[in-house]
């Protein structure tokens, strides 16, 4: 039995020195992960993704791969936003310091598979098993993920299960879904999105709609997703067009991937509707809160700060778990918050409320530079022309918020402490978040927050100004000067 491999030693042939080395190595392998966790990161054995619970301490930076950074440094902005602009994985690697210094510990990048020519965004797949060469080589992608993991930055890739590229009904060009039978037939009606069957079976933007009722299609999609996560050691996935795919598919996907965090896109503000999808995909974009916060701080559609409390309470009553949702103010599907609205201070208030709330926060690239693009593709600007400036007002502001965010225990609930039409104040643990929608250049009379998480005599600091105060019988003193938000922490 000792001749299984030539040269293999019998137990009696091991020397004491070899045994000592083995024991020391075992001890080091036990100690290093705890004493030097970052040193250990590149050597950790990979398992399929990270769970919903593990993602709760992440702050996600959304990157449109084609628009973040080019391989070769340039400061010329991209002006043809409906075409490829030149962003690459190598460009992201070169600017990981920019992302890390902003306080981000996860990135969400564009779909990585081969697309129809001109589809810079990645949502028009032609070959599910080949990479998009515009973004770089496979080696570049692997290096990006490896370098991110060395910094404890997790990587989320966008996956599309609903549709493929429009190739004029010639499905032979779509790999592996190369037969007409793999797709729903073209619908006669063109606009009945309130009908769930229409939503699931009909074409979105004329893109061929995959027929998940076909067991081969479902199995192939799930096998592909598992393969891509394992092959590239992804930490989680963002899932496109969730409500356009039947619920049974998401149930099966979850059963096959029970411990992979999935951030789904259900583009809808109906809380109960989103709650239905959370049954099988707990991560969803927090559109119900997004629409309210945008309206409140931009003073539109008659909403006030009372509506913030209402939507949060409605989420609780509906059983929607906000802690696994992705909270955002900007993304690639909506005009940026600052579009047609130049009040940076109002934006800062909305950012403070959103980034410190109980959901998993997302920051869309360019938010830290004050980008204000309109609807697609104007909200997909190139970032490299900013020269990756880390000294802008919003970059520094977001960095402060991410620092605070990392001090808040995941278990700490959002507790509303004070509200009027124009003021919304809440706490999480011993962090007090004070926001107002009065806007820059405006002020309010001093108010006192009597219902607060502190005790008399506690010393507090405003993280933005380093101003301090001591909690009195009257509570926490809050003076909104020039409409600026305040975040108070114990010192």
CB-CB contact of 233 with 149 (8 Å): yes
Q: What burial class does residue 461 get, using C-beta atoms within 10 Å of its C-beta: 0-12 exposed, 13-18 middle, 19+ buried?
A: middle
Question: What value does the mean pLDDT of the chain take?
Answer: 92
364: CB partners within 8 A, 6+ apart: 62, 328, 329, 330, 331, 332, 336
Catalytic residue among 200, 235, 240, 368: 240
Q: Please give the pLDDT value at position 191.
A: 84
pLDDT in tens, 386-412: 999 999 999 999 999 999 999 999 999
Q: Of the spans 8-12, 31-35, 375-379, which averages the highest pLDDT? A: 375-379
Mean pLDDT on 77-99: 98
Residue pair 304/436 in contact (Cβ under 8 Å)? The answer is no
User: What angle, 0 to 180 degrees and rounded to 10, lies between the N-to-C axes of helices 287-297 and 344-355?
Assistant: 150
What pLDDT, on a 0 to 100 scale, did the predictor assign at position 418? 98
Residue-wise pLDDT for 215-263, tens only, equals 999 999 999 999 999 999 999 999 999 999 999 999 999 999 999 999 9
Mean pLDDT of 167-192: 93
Which residue in this structure is represented by tokens 């769930």?
196
Q: What is the pLDDT of residue 412?
A: 98
Considering the four listed CATH numbers 1.10.510.10, 3.40.50.2000, 2.60.120.380, 2.60.40.1180, the one that applies to the domain covering 417-490 is 2.60.40.1180
Residue among 52, 235, 265, 343 flagged as catalytic:
265
Q: What is the model's pLDDT at position 24?
A: 57
66 is catalytic: no
The dotted CATH code for 43-406 is: 3.20.20.80
For residue 260, what are the contacts with CB-CB under 8 A and spacing of at least 6?
48, 49, 50, 51, 229, 236, 237
102: three-class secondary structure by DSSP: coil
> Running DSSP on this structure, what letter comes out for residue 472?
B
The percent of residues in the chain predicted with pLDDT above 90, rounded, is: 89
Q: Half-sphere exposure of residue 280, counting CA atoms within 13 Å on the CB side? A: 20
Please say whether the beta carbons of 404 and 487 come within 8 A.
Answer: yes
Question: Given pLDDT bands bounded at 50, 70 and 90, which one contains residue 188?
Answer: confident
Q: What is the DSSP string of 67-83?
A: HH-BSS---PPP--TTS
> Which H or E element spans position 380?
none
Output the six-digit token pair for 9. Answer: 């030693």
Q: Which two tokens stand for residue 286?
A: 């927090």
Please answer whether residues 114 and 131 qualify as being in contact, where contact means their C-beta atoms are separated by less than 8 angstroms: yes
Label residue 37 by pLDDT band (50, 70, 90).
Answer: very low
Q: What is the pLDDT of residue 405?
A: 98
Please count the other Cβ atoms lying within 10 Å of the Cβ belonging to residue 395. 19
Whole-number pLDDT of residue 387: 97
pLDDT tier at 36 (50, 70, 90 boundaries)? Answer: low
pLDDT, position 319: 97
CA 61/CA 155 separation, integer angstroms = 10
pTM recorded for the entire structure: 0.90
Domain boundaries, the chain: 43-406, 417-490
Neighbours of 139 (CB within 10 A): 10
- The string of pLDDT tens digits covering residues 406-425 is 999 999 999 999 999 999 99
- pLDDT of 373 reads 98
- Of 180, 182, 200, 183, the closest CA to residue 192 belongs to 200
Parallel/antiparallel/unpaired status of strands 60-62 and 360-364: parallel
Percent of the chain residues topping a pLDDT of 70: 90
Q: Is the dihedral of CA 17, 22, 26, 28 positive or negative?
A: positive
Per-residue confidence (pLDDT) for residue 27, from 0 to 100 = 56
Dihedral (CA of 19, 20, 21, 22) sign: positive
| C-alpha distances out from residue 4 to 7, 362, 471, Å | 9, 54, 74
Q: Express each pLDDT in 145-169 by its tens digit.
A: 999 999 999 999 999 999 999 999 9
pLDDT at 80 over 60: yes
For the question of residue 268 being annotated catalytic, the response is no
Q: What confidence score (pLDDT) does residue 8 get?
A: 31
């Amino acid at each position: 039995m000792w001749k299984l491999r030539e040269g293999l030693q019998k137990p009696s042939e091991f020397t004491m020195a070899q045994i000592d080395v083995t024991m020391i190595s075992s001890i080091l392998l036990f100690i290093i992960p705890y004493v030097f966790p970052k040193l250990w990161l590149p050597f950790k054995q990979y398992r399929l993704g990270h769970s919903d619970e593990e993602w709760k301490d992440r702050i996600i930076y959304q990157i449109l791969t084609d628009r973040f950074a080019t391989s070769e440094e340039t400061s010329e902005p991209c002006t043809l936003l409906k075409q490829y602009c030149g962003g690459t994985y190598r460009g992201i690697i070169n600017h990981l310091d920019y992302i890390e210094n902003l306080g981000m510990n996860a990135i969400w990048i564009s779909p990585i598979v081969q697309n129809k020519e001109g589809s810079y965004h990645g949502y028009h797949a032609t070959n599910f098993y080949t990479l998009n060469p515009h973004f770089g080589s496979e080696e570049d992608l692997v290096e990006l993920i490896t370098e991110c993991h060395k910094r404890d930055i997790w990587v989320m890739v966008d996956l599309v299960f609903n549709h493929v590229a429009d190739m004029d009904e010639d499905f032979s060009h779509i790999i592996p879904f190369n037969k007409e039978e793999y797709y729903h037939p073209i619908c006669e009606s063109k606009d009945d999105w309130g009908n769930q069957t229409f939503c699931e079976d009909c074409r979105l933007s004329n893109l061929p709609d995959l027929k998940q009722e076909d067991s081969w299609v479902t199995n192939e999609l799930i096998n592909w997703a598992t393969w891509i996560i394992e092959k590239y050691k992804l930490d989680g996935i963002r899932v496109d067009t969730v409500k356009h795919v039947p619920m049974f598919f998401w149930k099966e996907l979850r059963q096959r991937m029970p411990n992979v965090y999935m951030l789904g896109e259900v583009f809808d503000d109906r809380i109960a509707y989103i709650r239905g999808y959370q049954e099988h995909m707990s991560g969803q974009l927090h559109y119900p809160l997004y629409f309210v916060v945008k309206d409140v701080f931009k003073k539109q559609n008659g909403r006030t700060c009372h509506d913030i409390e209402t939507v949060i309470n409605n989420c609780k009553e509906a059983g929607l778990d906000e802690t696994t949702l992705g909270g955002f103010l900007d993304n690639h599907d909506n005009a940026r918050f600052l579009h047609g609205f130049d009040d940076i201070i109002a934006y800062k208030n909305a950012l403070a409320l959103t980034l410190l709330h109980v959901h998993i926060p997302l920051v869309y690239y360019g938010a830290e530079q004050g980008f204000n693009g309109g609807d697609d593709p104007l909200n997909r600007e190139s970032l490299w022309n900013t020269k990756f400036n880390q000294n802008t007002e919003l970059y520094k502001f977001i960095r402060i918020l991410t620092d605070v965010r990392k001090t808040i225990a995941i278990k700490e609930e959002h507790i509303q402490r004070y509200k009027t039409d124009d003021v919304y104040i809440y706490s999480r643990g011993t962090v007090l978040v004070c926001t107002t929608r009065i806007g820059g250049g405006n002020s309010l009379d001093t108010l006192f927050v009597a219902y607060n998480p502190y005790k008399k005599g506690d010393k507090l600091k405003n993280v933005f100004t380093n101003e301090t105060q001591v909690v009195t019988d009257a509570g926490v003193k809050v003076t909104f000067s020039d409409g600026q938000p305040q975040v108070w922490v114990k010192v």
